[in-house]
Structure 1
Amino acid sequence: MLFQSIIASASLVGLALAANHDVMVGMDGLTFTPNTTTAANGDTVTFHFYPMKHSVVQAAFATPCEPMAGGFYSGFVPTSSGESMTTFMITVNETTKPIWFYCSQASHCQSGMVGAINAPTTGNTIEKFVASAKSASNNTTPSVTAGTGGTLSAMNMTSASGTMTMSMSSTATGTAASSTGTGAASALEVSKGLGFSAAFAFLGYLFV
């Protein structure tokens, strides 16, 4: 009994120590802000999307504008002005392996819209990844479902009568830093919106 209590307490401490790191997608033009993040094992990284339409795709260092097999993919998240209500969150599971990512919209990757988590300061650096991306011949969008490898969530929406939270999430069996994981995610593509049912539900809520 005492042993189980110790294990439970240790788990809670681990959760408490985990941190979240925010990355702004397109807030300052065709860039991730910041474009490099240092995260510990168990930490989360949340991507916030800005106009007009961007995505976050995991890549390998050698192929900066191509999706990595088993990697994460946010899907395209459009917003006409300001920050989108939709965020994409991944969990860092292997701090010894850098996580590389890019935006697959148009030629954004070739414009230097790439980033990294736990990139080394020597050797395969973020600067070399950016330079490699700018010389890439193609910018490829994954064929997997939006939300693969992470969690898509809609932020709170406030009306005159109160606040309603709408969310959608999907998780895959692959890890953010692993190239071997695979899995299915939510069938709802962000670029297709929340759907008629959610829209009508929200309108009904506003006029209650």
Structure 2
Amino acid sequence: MARKHSPFPMLKFFKSEPFKHLTDEELLARYRQRGGNRVLNALIDRYLHIVYGAALQYLKNQADAEDATMEIMGSLGPKLRKYDIQNFSSWLYAVVNNHCYKTVKKRAASRTEDIDENNEPGFMEFMQHNALLEREAQFDKLSDAIDELNPEQRQCITAFYLQQKTYKQIASELGYTENQVKSYIQNGKRNLRTQIAKWYESQTK
């Protein structure tokens, strides 16, 4: 059987063996205290392919997923020092989720000119739960409204509607209960409807 080609051949330069006995949180604490590329690379080595897999599932495009992975991992250093991270894997998933959401948002925004429902399935898939949104200004307003949701609602809304994930999958990946996921989605949708309704009212005055 042919060996599967790795999209990240640079992994061979990341020697993380000395840190294999450390937990994520121990690596994170060491990096925050002492810095050092070896510690940072150990975390990257541990999660690179996981991040790539999540990005690929989200973006549905290998090149975009590779770019997203490199951008996310390349920005980790300053973020690890800036934020008080209690659970690294959950925090990293949120970073991936937000990064890919912004990528999808930019991609969809670039398609809003001359939209044809017959040849823009990716855009229409994103919009299938928002039938009122048919023009660029309306799409931008939806994107802005999603950005304004609290982190829990935004993560669950984007995972459920953009990634087509189930309540169970979202709960497992984000560390919530299924009831919490349902609540975040319901409250998020309510907040989105309120924001969109206000926007429509302002347009008709």
- TM-score bracket relative to the smaller structure: under 0.3
Query: Structure 2 length as normaliser, TM-score?
Result: 0.26
Which structure has the greater CA radius of gyration? Answer: 2
Write 1 or 2 for the structure with the bigger share of helix: 2
Write 1 or 2 for the structure with the bigger share of strand: 1
Query: Structure 1 length as normaliser, TM-score?
Result: 0.26
